[in-house]
Amino acid sequence: MKVLVIEDDPTDLKLMGAVLKISGHSVDGRTAAEGAMEAIVADKPDVILLDLRLPGMDGLTLVRQLKANADTRQIPIVAMTAYPDHYQREELLAAGCAAYIVKPIDTRELPKNLEAITGRKPQ
């Protein structure tokens, strides 16, 4: 399964990438929402792991853009945040997120959670 991780913390990005690769997933990483739309349209991932608090454009804005675009609206988005008081679960699900994870992420469960959300196994 192709997973795109958009996370501004390099340590978290590296950790999630390593965990998902070990689990058999193909992983691409980005550190900002800007420019991610082009990458998503060009190489449609099977799922997007999206940090909500990013420099510049925030994750929620990117979710809304992706869900407004016919080429990307079907891609499941898993929102991630360390600030659950700032981003309400209902707002994120209403915007089109398939799931919402509060950090710190349980790396043992992450691959299983993505497979449950997408209904797909690693390729």
Region for 83 from its dihedrals, namely left if φ exceeds 0, alpha if ψ lies in -120 to 50, beta otherwise: beta
Angle CA(84)–CA(68)–CA(105) in degrees, nearest 5?
Answer: 30
Report cis status (omega within 30 of 0) of the bond before 45: no
Average pLDDT over residues 39-59: 93
* CA–CA gap between residue 22 and residue 16 (Å, rounded): 10
Q: Are 81 and 104 in contact (CB under 8 A)?
A: no
Residue 123, pLDDT > 80, answer no
Residue 79 forms beta bridges with which residues? 50, 100
| Contact status, residue 6 vs residue 51, Cβ threshold 8 Å | yes
Which domains are seen in the chain, by residue range?
Answer: 2-118 (3.40.50.2300)
Q: Rg for the chain (alpha carbons), in Å? A: 13
- Say how many C-beta atoms besides its own lie within 10 A of residue 60's C-beta: 21
Residue 37's pLDDT is 83
Confidence of residue 79 (pLDDT cuts 50, 70, 90): very high
The structure's pTM equals 0.94
Q: Residue 49 pLDDT > 90, yes or no?
A: yes
